[in-house]
Amino acid sequence: MKITYIESSRIFKIDTLQNSYCIGITDEERFLTHVYYGSSVSDDDLTYLLRTDENPFAPSKNARDRGSFLDCCPMEYPGNGVGDYRESAVSVEDSNGNSAVQFYYTGHRIMEGKKKLEGLPATFGEEDKSATLEIDLEDPVLQLQVTLSYCIFEDSDAIMRSARLRNASDAPLYLTKVMSLSLDMDQKDFSLLTLHGSWARERQMDYRTIGYGRQSVSSVRGESSHQEHPFIGLVSESATQESGSVYGIHFVYSGNFLAQVEKNQFDSLRVSMGIHPENFRYRLMPGETFQTPEAVMVYSENGLGGMSRIFHDLYRNHLIRSPYKDRKRPILINNWEATYFDFDTDKLIAIAKQAKEDGIEMLVMDDGWFGHRNDDNTSLGDWKVNEEKLRGGLGHLVDEVNRIGLKFGIWFEPEMISPDSDLYRAHPEWAIAVPGRIPCRMRNQYVLDLSRQDVRDYVYESVAVILRSTNIAYVKWDMNRQLSDLGSAFLDRENQGELCHRYMLGVYELQERLVTEFPQLLLENCSGGGARFDPGMLYYSPQIWCSDDTDAIERLSIQEGTALLFPLSTMGAHVSDCPNHTVGRSTPFETRGNVALAGTFGYELDITRIPEADRAQIPGQVALYHKYNDLVRSGDYYRIASYRENHYYDCYGVISKDKTEALITCVQVMGRPNVHSRRICVPGLDPKKRYRIEGTDQILHGDTLMHAGLQMKAMWGDFQSELIHLIAE
């Protein structure tokens, strides 16, 4: 880990464990330029990579064609409307209505440690094990100042970037676009990798050819969304899981985003990531600052798997703060798919008693416990216990569940308000809406205006008073609809374009208050399943509900796309009943359990009514969780085969950091006739160690298992699975 500034060449050099990132300052006009990002290099003077010697349009040689220079110069944080026609990093509306902006270098600082981003989630590290480069830029006409931050940790190959803008003029400025990151580089043979989806099929991996022009993924839904994900990957043509060049860029933000790659006339690429400029207009008064969210850059020359493991370790060590991050999570049973809204105290206690017998450790009461909510049309905002359902009150139920020997968890949807609620009747102006327009309801609910402090205070106290009243160990925080009708009765005309960002800051404030007052609370975020499964949420909760689709086969591709970036310990994964409530498929109970082990692990079913043959397997699955979870939670993840690609079977492994243990999960989706046994090569082992295949007498060297592989007998039937445990002798 090292950050240096080489005065003679005017180069900044950021060195992580295995990579280098270089930034230059041009001689004449002090443009900040991108020089290099990739595997570690020893030389400090890389100015030759800027091609200024071969560019006849450099201002020092040909000022009359300045635009030709700006149109191809690799800018580190490009301006707008001054001759660089590629995607800008910033667009500003000044008092004259002009949008032009151009930044010049004014200074820099190199320091130990990493500053906190006020009001925003961000990575963190110890003072003496992290370092930061801050580069100051300014537009002298607008008197708009920008500080670009580049942060690194001594144990990681990731680089964290963000920007802080300050209005140093004496008049308001309006930010209409502010990216957290811009990156110019040559196009080699990269394909674009993104994650797309919809409700119940989130984060599906998608590759596309990078053509000329702009290609992007984005969300303007007020959340990171089911449909797209705030990630962009550049994957070389020769890349595999364990070799080849891969760049990955991820956004630590949970609201509207834009992630884009642009290929220009010179076959150069410009990657941009930040808050989506649509519906964004932020007034910056004199002396005020605006802080962008953080973007994480990762480069791996060890393929997609290498990139994944860098992200996993970064998020485990430098983003998740919960005391649960290094602990087993309690095995929970959630009553949603068991009962939906049709439950009472007796039903929940019956589930708890049977769950305790089978080794489950927590009961979670989902939607339907408050107001007069017997379906999803009412009562959001009225967080008062429905004592017709919960006779004796919530405290009585929690005490009974605790007496049985289980912890208790509860579901909230704090950001929402039902039109049929006491809260809406008292405060219709608290809902986000555009006056005079027919409101767009989704799930027959509106969104509360969390840009308002009075609304945030009401929401927080509504949740906190319940948590203070009794012994609640877990909260599932849900959000079941996107933002629309973007209007706030609180914000004035000049600030309406700030609503979506201020809303997201409000969500972050609420969750920060929650984990501060209740530091031992296990918080799980959710948004209609996986619509807000992003790094921003991980800063507040160590796990996120991966998808409302709990079908084991659908979960293979959902969890593969999620594990591309996120540690397995963050993925909310449950065993549910069959036929599955989302897709109608029936899969063996064993396979449902094996797939859910690659996550937080729990149950989403009526344990008092499932077939006895299924229920009898639960104690064994619980034992497997306790046996393997330390490994799954902390080990290195390796993707061995993908059902998404081969349409036949799925296989992945987790290897302990010290290489003494491995767990391989193989799921045969489609049975085939007349096939041989399957050979599985296991990456990531110590080639010199000897490993025993648990349950057999076979012992093989690591290099044999890595290159010749395991011999796995053919499975009979569809949806079969097997766990293989390797232990170093």
Is the domain of 226 the same as that of 339?
no
* Distance (Å) of CA 419 to CA 86, 376, 382, 454, 556: 45, 11, 11, 19, 38
State how far the Cα of 112 lies from the Cα of 133, in Å rounded to an integer. Answer: 9
Tell whether 657 is covered by a domain: yes
Is the domain of 363 the same as that of 290?
no
Cβ-based neighbours of 160, under 8 Å, separated by 6 or more: 114, 122, 123, 149, 150, 151, 152, 294, 295, 296, 297
Query: What integer is the mean pLDDT of 526-555?
Result: 98
Is the domain of 139 the same as that of 103?
yes
What per-residue confidence (pLDDT) applies to 240?
Answer: 96
- Model pLDDT for residues 355-409, shown as the tens digit of each residue: 999 999 999 999 999 999 999 999 999 999 999 999 999 999 999 999 999 999 9
Catalytic residue among 478, 549, 636, 650: 478
* Whole-number average pLDDT of the chain: 96
What per-residue confidence (pLDDT) applies to 48?
Answer: 84
Is the domain of 616 the same as that of 663?
no
133 in Cβ contact with 110 (< 8 Å)? yes
Told to judge if 606 belongs to the known catalytic residues of this protein, a careful annotator would answer: no
> The domain containing residue 236 runs over which residues?
2-318
Split into its structural domains, the chain has a count of 3
Is the domain of 463 the same as that of 604?
yes
What per-residue confidence (pLDDT) applies to 45?
Answer: 84
Is the domain of 69 the same as that of 42?
yes
Tell whether 55 is covered by a domain: yes
Boundary (domain end) residue, out of 318, 347, 377: 318
Is the domain of 521 the same as that of 623?
yes
Query: What integer is the mean pLDDT of 639-668?
Result: 97
What per-residue confidence (pLDDT) applies to 36?
Answer: 96
289 in Cβ contact with 164 (< 8 Å)? yes
474 in Cβ contact with 407 (< 8 Å)? yes
DSSP 425-472: HH-GGGB---TTSPP--BTTBEEB-TTSHHHHHHHHHHHHHHHHHS--
State how far the Cα of 452 lies from the Cα of 188, in Å rounded to an integer. Answer: 48
Closest CA to 487 of 472, 502, 477, 507: 502
What per-residue confidence (pLDDT) applies to 135?
Answer: 98
Boundary (domain end) residue, out of 599, 629, 659: 629
What per-residue confidence (pLDDT) applies to 65?
Answer: 78
- Residue 213 forms beta bridges with which residues? 263
Q: Kindly indicate the confidence band of residue 223, based on its pLDDT and cuts at 50, 70 and 90.
A: very high
292 in Cβ contact with 164 (< 8 Å)? yes
Query: What integer is the mean pLDDT of 52-76?
Result: 74
Tell whether 634 is covered by a domain: no
Tell whether 97 is covered by a domain: yes
- Model pLDDT for residues 333-347, shown as the tens digit of each residue: 999 999 999 999 999
Domain of residue 14, CATH code = 2.70.98.60
What per-residue confidence (pLDDT) applies to 50?
Answer: 78
- Model pLDDT for residues 294-331, shown as the tens digit of each residue: 999 999 999 999 999 999 999 999 999 999 999 999 99
Boundary (domain end) residue, out of 318, 345, 378: 318
- Model pLDDT for residues 227-264, shown as the tens digit of each residue: 999 999 999 999 999 999 999 999 999 999 999 999 99
> Angle at CA 345, nearest 5°, toward 340 and 350?
85
598 in Cβ contact with 652 (< 8 Å)? yes
Cβ-based neighbours of 681, under 8 Å, separated by 6 or more: 640, 705, 706, 707, 708, 709, 710
Is the domain of 420 the same as that of 561?
yes
What per-residue confidence (pLDDT) applies to 460?
Answer: 98
Closest CA to 184 of 15, 294, 4, 32: 32
Closest CA to 35 of 156, 166, 184, 153: 184
Catalytic residue among 382, 548, 614, 636: 548
What per-residue confidence (pLDDT) applies to 502?
Answer: 98
Is the domain of 356 the same as that of 504?
yes
Q: Kindly indicate the confidence band of residue 674, based on its pLDDT and cuts at 50, 70 and 90.
A: confident
Stated pTM of the model: 0.97
Q: What is the 3-state secondary structure (H, E, C) of 104-134?
A: EEEEEEEEECCCCCCCCCCCCCCHHHEEEEE
Is the domain of 9 the same as that of 146?
yes
Domain of residue 458, CATH code = 3.20.20.70
Percent share of the chain, pLDDT over 70: 98
Told to judge if 15 belongs to the known catalytic residues of this protein, a careful annotator would answer: no
Instruction: Examine the pLDDT at 56 and tell me if it is beyond 60.
Output: no
Domain of residue 686, CATH code = 2.60.40.1180
* Distance (Å) of CA 136 to CA 113, 148, 152, 292: 18, 7, 18, 15
What per-residue confidence (pLDDT) applies to 51?
Answer: 67
What per-residue confidence (pLDDT) applies to 212?
Answer: 96
Query: What integer is the mean pLDDT of 642-648?
Result: 95
Q: Kindly indicate the confidence band of residue 477, based on its pLDDT and cuts at 50, 70 and 90.
A: very high
- Model pLDDT for residues 134-161, shown as the tens digit of each residue: 999 999 999 999 999 999 999 999 999 9
Instruction: Examine the pLDDT at 52 and tell me if it is beyond 70.
Output: no
Tell whether 46 is covered by a domain: yes
Tell whether 323 is covered by a domain: no
Is the domain of 260 the same as that of 303?
yes
Tell whether 115 is covered by a domain: yes
Tell whether 51 is covered by a domain: yes
Percent share of the chain, pLDDT over 90: 93
- Model pLDDT for residues 589-631, shown as the tens digit of each residue: 999 999 999 999 999 999 999 999 999 999 999 999 999 999 9
- Model pLDDT for residues 421-472, shown as the tens digit of each residue: 999 999 999 999 999 999 999 999 999 999 999 999 999 999 999 999 999 9
Is the domain of 618 the same as that of 679?
no
Query: What integer is the mean pLDDT of 205-216?
Result: 97
What per-residue confidence (pLDDT) applies to 55?
Answer: 60
